[in-house]
Chains A and B, each alone.
Chain A
Amino acid sequence: MSPRQTSLPRTWAARGLALALSIGLGASAGALFLQYGSGDGLQAMDWLRSGLILLSTFWLAWGACQGLLGLLAWRAPPAPADPAPADPALADPALADPLAEAPAIRGRTAILVPVYNEQPAPVLARVAAMDASLAALGLTDRFDFAILSDTRDEEIAAAERRWFLRLVTERGGEGRMFYRRRAVNTGKKAGNIEDFIERSGAAYDFALILDADSLMEGSTIAEMVRRMEADPKLGLLQSLPRIIEAESRFGRAMQFSASFYSPVFARGLAALQGRTGPFWGHNALVRLEAFAQSCGLPVLAGEPPFGGHIMSHDYVEAALLARAGWTVRVDVDLEGSFEEGPENIIDYAKRDRRWCQGNLQHTRLLMAPGLKPWSRFVFVQGILAYIAPLFWLGFIAASIAAIVLAPVPDYFPTPYDQLFPIFPHNDTAKAVELAIGIFGLLLLPKLLIAAHAGWTGRARGFGGGWTALRSTLVELLFSSLIAPVMLMYQTRSVAQVLLGLDSGWPTNNRGDGTLGIAEAWANSRWIALTGLAGLLFVWWLTPALVAWLLPVGLPMLFSPQLIAWSSQRGGAARGGAPRLFTVPSDLAPSPVILAWKHVLASWTAAPEGGAAPPAEVTEPQTAYA
């Protein structure tokens, strides 16, 4: 099922099915726990834990439903990546058939590259690669690039200007490549985009909003514009960016996850969202008329974190477009859209802190007038993404408290009418059933995706069926290991937001994110000490319970080691076997990725100021035409 063909009744049917299934599974889990807890009579703690299990299971089931819907809606991608094709251009679906008739592009598009204290050379080399990719299609006259700098560091800003001039010189970009640095970065990224639209928006029909680490094939950009032109009600078209260039163990696991599972989950999401789709803030095309008309963001009353500028602006902009009657869509079939991800857990947690604040700020907008019901539900989902892990933490805490508060067993409830003691009935089997069910919800979607990939041949792009399965199993183990560490970071983030602490706007740390044990310890000692204190406390309370808490306590205790180890580069594969967490971009990098690397290598090899002659940047031919 293509997102473009999603009809309203079908969307509502998918929503109803997924919600009913999730609520049903959540309620069943809650009821099962109550049965288990009723062995020695139902106490308040049993009701509390049952409620927490219900909510957690609902949330897990909701995620699982998206995966299952994604598998049901799956259609084979146009061209599965073939290991090491003779011509890299063949990896690009739009270039694979150069004779294919494509409608001419009529509108003008501004490609917006917001930057904030980034290393300028890699960012502008990406622009050069994308421009070359568009030039190969003969489309440069339809696209302008605008580098929208909010950089606060004067040295970086000076470097941005120097590298920009080199970009313009090399690409002949005069009159179609622009650089603007704001003196005051009001409204952060949303304000940066808004400033461009308010000054220059009427000169363009569309804007492709990117991040500093975004990279897109020219053919993908062109296809997005064509789809936008074909549907006058389409206000925003989101692509699904794949993570590239990951090197660390953590980064590669994330990269694999984003490449292997995300397209399936995104298809499920697309089936549920219908015309009220997502905006993830970058690698998306907007219709400027619609965006300007609907997405002028107000400043919320009060101080951050709940007031002030809207941080997670993308979700809100998607909701506002839908409110104004525009279609917002994610087209998962679009290939050739890339971004980079954090290379270690600390950088991930920093980014997550910002997202947490942004999502919790949406509590202010849940009742915003005129929003589509699904947009409100998306806000709830975003909030739950950060609150739901707390349910598990609450469950663990309540389980420990339940031991302390447990009543003394009464073996003779009716002492004058019974000869023999009545023992509390043992319902451990129900607890085991519940645990199996919950683990099933956690593991099943990913295992089904692996099986599906093997069955359909999609696994070839991930190093073959065996490597894809191995990567899936290791990813499951790894994500289970780091889950308690993430839980602690998320708990701290939520607590900080609720206490009114603002995260500010830290620069994303891109590139090599290797961490030593000292740095990891400095950033996670509070987790290790909390884990140690928790285990000692439970051991003092009930030694038998310690074994049950080890899966959570041990990763916390060894979080510094885990963080440092996962930030290192993994070893190479043995005997020519595909590397663990192989993704299609390892085997057959998209031409625009090759072009970017080539440009960056040529730029950083030569002195910064000296413009390299164009003849030096002609390889690879297919990409850098």
Chain B
Amino acid sequence: MNFVKGDMQEQDPDEDAGQDAGQDADLVGTTIGALPVAPLAMPRQVLERPGRLRARLAALFGAGIRTRGLGN
């Protein structure tokens, strides 16, 4: 592929294989033009508490069983 402008270049993941970028380049895929490198973290949000009620009940019963096991 030909590029007519200065720093416009294509990075193909196949060409990057074995280089430092390694796995990251696979995820980036193909780029044309130098996207700014300016990471902004996106922390995962908590949207559900899986099995909250079940977990609490299990903990409650579990505590009871453990307590009984101790002879109290």
A contact set with B: CB distance below 8 Å: 146, 149, 157, 161, 164-165, 168-169, 174-175, 177-184, 194-204, 288-289, 291-298, 300-301, 316, 320, 364-365, 367-369
Query: CB-CB < 8 A to A203: which residues of B?
Result: 36, 38
Q: With an 8 A cutoff between CB atoms, is B39 at the interface?
A: yes
**How far is A231 from B42 in the complex, measured between Cα atoms in Å?**
23
A198 and B39 contact, CB distance less than 8 A: yes
Q: Please, which residue of chain B has its CB at the minimum distance from the CB of A176?
A: B33
Find the A residue at minimum CB distance from B51: A301
User: How far, in angstroms, from A533 to B13 measured CA to CA in the complex?
Assistant: 56
State whether A181 touches B33 (Cβ < 8 A): no
Q: Is B13 in contact with A165, judged by CB distance below 8 angstroms?
A: no
**Docked pose: A296 CA to B34 CA in angstroms:** 25
Contact A161 B35 (CB under 8 A): no
Question: Looking at the complex, which one of A168, A181, A199, A365 makes contact with B5 (CB distance below 8 Å)?
Answer: A168
Contact B35 A180 (CB under 8 A): yes
Q: CB distance A300 to B6 under 8 Å?
A: no
B43 x A182 contact (CB < 8 A): no
Complex contact A292–B36 (CB within 8 A): no
* B47 CB within 8 Å of chain A: yes
Apart from A203-B38, A297-B47, what are 15 other A-B pairs with CB-CB below 8 Å? A174-B5, A175-B33, A178-B33, A179-B33, A181-B31, A183-B26, A183-B30, A195-B27, A199-B39, A201-B39, A291-B42, A293-B43, A300-B48, A364-B47, A367-B48
Residue contact B13 to A183, C-beta cutoff 8 Å: yes
The yes or no answer to B40 lying at the interface (CB within 8 A) is yes
**What's the Cα separation between A291 and B40 when bound, in Å?**
10
The 8 A CB mask of B1-34 against A (1 = contact, 0 = none) is 1011111101001000000000000111111111
Say yes or no: A198 contacts B5, CB within 8 Å.
Answer: no
Dominant SS among interface residues on chain A: helix
Pairs across A and B, CB under 8 Å, 26 listed? A161-B1, A169-B5, A174-B7, A178-B32, A179-B30, A179-B32, A179-B33, A180-B29, A180-B35, A182-B29, A184-B27, A194-B42, A197-B42, A198-B40, A200-B36, A200-B38, A202-B39, A296-B44, A301-B48, A301-B50, A364-B47, A365-B48, A367-B48, A368-B46, A369-B46, A369-B49
| B29/A181 in contact, CB under 8 A | yes
- The residue in chain A whose Cβ has the minimal distance to the Cβ of B3 is A165
- Which of B1, B32, B33, B44 touches A297 (beta carbons < 8 Å)? B44
Binding site for A on B (CB under 8 A): 1, 3-8, 10, 13, 26-50
Name which residue of chain A comes closest to B50, CB basis: A301
Is A298 within 8 A of B38, CB to CB?
Answer: no
For A199, the chain B residues whose CB sits under 8 A away are: 28, 35, 37-39
CB distance A295 to B5 under 8 Å? Answer: no
Q: Residues of B contacting A295 with CB < 8 Å?
A: 42, 45
Name the contact of A161 in the complex, choosing from B7, B27, B32, B41 (C-beta under 8 A).
B32
Q: Are A157 and B30 in contact (CB under 8 A)?
A: yes
- Whether the Cβ atoms of B45 and A198 lie closer than 8 Å is no
Shortest C-beta distance, A286 to chain B (Å), equals 12
Q: Contacts A292-B42, A296-B45 given: A200-B4 contact, CB under 8 Å?
A: no
Which residue of the partner chain, among B8, B34, B39, B48, contacts A168 with CB atoms under 8 Å?
B8
Query: A376 to chain B: closest CB distance in Å?
Result: 12
A202 touches B38 (CB 8 A): yes
Least CB distance from B45 to A in Å reads 6
Instruction: With both chains docked as a complex, state the minimum distance between the C-beta of A236 and any C-beta of chain B, in angstroms.
Output: 15
Main secondary structure, interface of B, reads loop
Assuming the contacts A288-B40, A292-B40, asked whether A161 and B30 have C-beta atoms less than 8 A apart, the reply is yes
Contacts of B43 in A (CB 8 A): 293, 296
B40 shortest CB reach to chain A, Å? 3
The reply to whether A183 and B29 contact each other, CB–CB distance below 8 Å, is yes
From the candidates B5, B28, B39, B45, name the one contacting A180 in the complex (CB within 8 A): B28
Q: Would you list the 6 A-B pairs with minimal beta carbon distance, nearest first?
A: A201-B40, A203-B36, A296-B42, A202-B38, A203-B38, A183-B29
Chain A residue nearest to B46 (CB atoms) is A369
Residue of B4, B13, B26, B32 ringed by the most chain A CB atoms within 10 A: B32
Report the separation of the CA atoms of residues A196 and B31 in the bound assembly, to the nearest whole angstrom. 12
Asked if residues B30 and A198 are in contact (CB atoms below 8 Å), the reply is no
A299 and chain B: residue at smallest CB distance: B44
Residues of B within 8 A of A165 (CB): 3-4, 8, 32
Contacts of B37 in A (CB 8 A): 199-200
Contacting pair B33 A174 (CB below 8 A)? yes
Closest to A185 in B: B29
Query: How far, in angstroms, from A295 to B46 measured CA to CA in the complex?
Result: 10
Q: Which of A161, A184, A288 contacts B10 (CB 8 A)?
A: A161
Does A365 contact B40, Cβ atoms closer than 8 Å?
no
Q: Are A174 and B29 in contact (CB under 8 A)?
A: no
Q: Which residues of B contact A184 (CB under 8 A)?
A: 26-27, 29
A179 surroundings in chain B (CB, below 8 A): 30-33
Residue of B nearest to A366 (CB): B48
Min distance, Cβ B38 to any Cβ of chain A, angstroms:
4
Q: Measured between alpha carbons, how far is A203 from B29 in the docked complex, in Å?
A: 20
A182 close to B28 (CB less than 8 A): yes
A182–B35 CA distance with the chains assembled, in angstroms: 13
A330 CA to B18 CA in the complex, in Å?
48
Q: Which residue of B lies closest to A296 (CB)?
A: B42
A303 vs B18: C-alpha distance when bound (angstroms)? 34
Known contacts: A180-B28, A199-B35. The answer to whether A368 contacts B42 by CB under 8 A is no
In the bound complex, how far is the Cα of B30 from the Cα of A364, in angstroms? 35
| Chain B residues whose C-beta falls within 8 Å of the C-beta of A300 in the assembled complex | 47-48
A195 to B29, CA, bound (A): 11
Q: Determine if B4 and A169 form an interchain contact, defined as CB atoms under 8 angstroms apart.
A: yes
User: Of all chain A residues, which has the CB nearest B14?
Assistant: A183
Residues of B within 8 A of A197 (CB): 40, 42
A178 touches B47 (CB 8 A): no
The reply to whether A365 and B38 form a contact with Cβ atoms under 8 Å apart is no
Indicate if the CB atoms of B32 and A183 lie closer than 8 Å.
no
Name the B residues within 8 Å of A293 (CB-CB).
43
B39: which A residues are within 8 A, CB to CB?
198-202
Closest to A178 in B: B33
Contact A198 B35 (CB under 8 A): no
User: Which listed residue (B7, B40, B49) contacts A202, Cβ 8 A?
Assistant: B40
